[in-house]
Copies of this chain bind each other. A is one copy, B any other.
């Protein structure tokens, strides 16, 4: 268990998917949305379903940017548009809600709790590697989240720095370039096969971490489905495997 997998011997930086991999986005957004829904949806809306519906608009919004149909816009902007779009699904007319209240709810994504093993695992890994988010979340979102949760990042990287959303190759390749590293010196840690597959195609190393509770109660997300260099059940095991 403690022998470093051979392909990872040259890795100097670990970059992390964040939503689902480091933090529990669904519970956090539901918690932040609950009082809003109680005020505006007559208690009829389920906060978990609201989090799912808001999140459902995430990939299509980024696809506008990835496809080149829209210039890069940070995720806070996309989330705010998606929030206005999702309210009618829950019987709320966005025009009846003060903009400042929607701006505030949009910050739910800045206040997500880490999975229980995340801070301790990252702290161990930081002693041996550069650690940074490679998230589609923007810089201030990641920064607020880290400061609130105590995530000990060395730097905030990701879509806003690379000016490209995952799973575009530029998101991975520009991150390696910014680190002045070959892609094989960088390992992506993620709970999602599609993210890892895109990173592997760019030459990055890959670590899959199980996050069985990401999708909410009773919905088990897919397990590892690819030739990932490491598979770990949590960040503690990842740190043990990577010698952190």
User: Is A178 touching B139 in the complex (CB atoms < 8 A)?
Assistant: yes
Chain A interface category by residue count: 10 to 19
Given contacts A140-B178, A178-B140, A180-B76, contact A130 B156 (CB under 8 A): no
Q: Is the CB of A179 within 8 A of B147?
A: no
Whether a CB of chain B sits under 8 angstroms from the CB of A86 is no
- Say whether A97 faces chain B, with CB atoms less than 8 Å apart: no
Contact A146 B139 (CB under 8 A): no
What separation, in Å, do the CA atoms of A155 and B157 have in the docked complex? 9
Given contacts A76-B180, A130-B147, A180-B76, contact A139 B154 (CB under 8 A): no
How close is A203's CB to chain B, nearest CB, in angstroms? 18
Nearest chain B residue, comparing its CB with the CB of A138? B178
Return A159 CB to nearest CB of chain B, in Å: 12
Query: What per-residue 1/0 map shows which CB atoms of A142-184 lie under 8 Å from chain B?
Result: 1100110000011111001100000000000000001110000
Identify the 10 closest CB pairs spanning chains A and B, nearest first.
A155-B156, A140-B180, A143-B155, A139-B178, A140-B179, A143-B154, A161-B161, A147-B154, A139-B155, A130-B143
A143-B179, A155-B155 given. 20 additional CB < 8 A pairs?
A130-B143, A130-B147, A139-B155, A139-B157, A139-B178, A139-B179, A140-B178, A140-B179, A140-B180, A142-B155, A143-B154, A143-B155, A146-B154, A147-B154, A153-B155, A154-B156, A155-B156, A156-B156, A160-B178, A161-B161
